[in-house]
Structure 1
Amino acid sequence: MLMKCLSLMKVRLVFAIAMLGAMSSATLLAQNAPAGKKGPAASKTDAKKEEKKPIPVPKAVPEKANAKELLTYLETLNDQKSFPEFSDRTELIAYVTQVCQRSVTAGGRAFASAKETKTAVEAVDWVFEAYIVLSRIGNEKAAENALAFAQKISGDKRPEVASLGKRYVIVDRAQQVSFLDEAQQKQLLADVNAYFAGKKLERTDLGIASFIASGIERSRNLKLAALAYGSFAQTFSKAFANEKDAQMVAMISRMQGTARRFNLPGNPIKVSGQTLDGEKLDIKDLKGKVVLVDYWATWCGPCVAEMPNIIASYDAYHDKGFEVIGVSLDNSPRPVAEFLKAKEIPWKTILSQDPTALGWEAPNVSYYGISSIPTTILVDQKGNVVSLQARGAELGRLLKQLLGEAGKAKGAAGE
């Protein structure tokens, strides 16, 4: 489990995986080559084809070598240019396995004898990178051994080394976050925040934070997920206040927005903007009514599929005080206007007027970190959110609860 998230780290051995794919393709081409023609892996003569070549063996770990000499050995051992030619994929896997095993041995020895912190850190990297490749090629013990090594170095007196161990331990726990109970999730969140507070934050840390928060979200614990997204967003927005990488800035912003959205139940929602008709619309003006805020787009199949349910609900409950506000993620008004006309949609739809902030970046969308559509948020008469996903029969159930019985409407929600 640890290995999936370790791919966030720099991996120098990862080319071995690509070689496996290339070897498979070359073998397949050779097997399918027309009679009389040679594929990429075909032998020059039938005699040579039948020759049994010795299986390549990587250079052994030097018995008497200091830490820096072992690191030099590791660079040579893992240099793709030094790899021999292989007759098949099985041979390649066997060779790469030996390379990784010897990398673990050499890296471990280099770490144990390293006098300089920089050397120790590099040795640790080699060990973990070898475990990553071993795991990817099917070694069942790789993840377990990597975790044991991480736990061992977590207590190292050198902060830089201990931090690497703690990171891998946290990543392993993070892989299980969706299956933890609330108390365990809270403990993990506390441990991760303590870990982040004690180190200089890196980009890979943001990836770990996002993975943990989304894992808690998947477990349906939205209150704790809101706390996770919020605390991580605050931590990283401070650490990367001057960050210019647009992707990283957007990731932090989405965390902030998601925290706002998960904190909405029992609180007011902010939705305002210009409709396709050019009118100003603010949900605050609809206080006293039950309002469904529907984040959707014409290109979204599930959104379009949900429309008949919303229309039926609108027909059944509009006279009792039910309104709908559409928030479109389309990039231009034309397809929205055509859709609304064709489907005879009776409610107003907001579309961003800022050409630089459309779709997922539209103000009403990004403010709440909307990451999938349809997202249908239901607001009660007091202006407070009662559901973050009022769809299908659930919409009908909630409307009946808030507005009472309604007259029959063909295809109404919950029927």
Structure 2
Amino acid sequence: MRTKNLISFVFTLFVTLLLFTLLYVFVTETASLKPAASSGTDSMTVMSNSGINTAGKLDLVVSNAVIISSTDTSIRYSFTIKNNSIDTIASLENVSIHNFYSEDTDIDEARDADAGISNLDIKSSLAPGQSYTGTCFASGKIPKGMKYLIFKVDAADVLDESDENNNTQVLSLRPDLVFVDAHITSTSDKKISYTYTIKNNGCLPVADLYNISIQNLYSANSTYNDKGDMPAGGSILGCKRSLAPGESFTATFYSFTAVPAGMNKMLLKIDSCNIEEEADETNNTYTIELLDDLQITDVEVISKTPTQVTYTYKIKNNGIKIIPSIFNVSIQHFYSANNVFNDAGDVSAGGGILGINRSLAPGESYSGTFSAFGTVPDGMNYVTGMIDWGDNLKETNEENNKFSTFIPYK
């Protein structure tokens, strides 16, 4: 009897200890899982604060599409794609771009013209938040009436994305007239003549330049048609010709009225009447600075002493505004072995202000005499100089202020 009771007691004790052991293991393992779950939550919070999608899927975003160049049969553009998810995209090799020419800004494969498919063919990965910038071609001649190029990245849905609505970009397929250059060629008291060059930066030709207009305004700043601006004439180009993509056109035009006081700029606008529907209507203006322009010519040595070289000169106001006084306009000299102003090895030969109390109207000239001082060094057979050395005048052209003349009395 005692033996039976002893066996029963030992068995009961063994089972009890086994149950306690199993319960301890369960509690310990459950407690050890809690910190890992908390760490994962914190990590996702940090990622979402950076603007990256945390929905659990990939998300490829396309942006910054710009047309680089175009021909009759293709359009090349650049683009940027970004991995906007929390997972790395292992490879973009099989991700494709599908191009369409369209009448509007929505893809409709039934009526849009297919402009080709190409793979990115990028074997490297794209980490979360990482971007890639590349180029692509849309192929085929732009059909009549198609005003937009639309392209979609991952058109074949190789990637399972959380947002399929941010994979497309729209580019406008229109002409785009811009000024390349404009500069004054001559002036008078009531007229400024200038030469200008315009270029078609768009993807479609301008069919006819004839009725494209150009408008001039005098202004105190560079804001076109600002309050206080004064009309200075305008006209249609009157040129019966087209302008292909990338092609330029150069012509001359002029203002019709004198420059009002306080107006130091002439603003030009091409297609001022908006005859042509353009890809960009904000780049049609150009600013010409209406500044003084003092030019020195006809410099000739008339006498020489051991310490002085005297010459005659003529200065002309090539600008469009009157120079109120040339009294403080200065000339600086150098003795030189060549005709390059202020070249290495030149020796300073003095200078000073003209000291002439008079104005100089647009187109008006003044002739006088001036002198370089100091002994002429051996081997230096030139006097070089610069009018307005002290920058007393703000000018449109500083290069025509320099001069050189040979010293014949050696």
TM category, shorter: under 0.3
- TM-score normalised according to structure 1 size: 0.27
Q: Higher strand proportion, which one?
A: 2
Larger Rg: 2
Higher relative contact order, chain-length normalized (CA < 8 Å, sep 6+): 1
Q: Higher helix proportion, which one?
A: 1
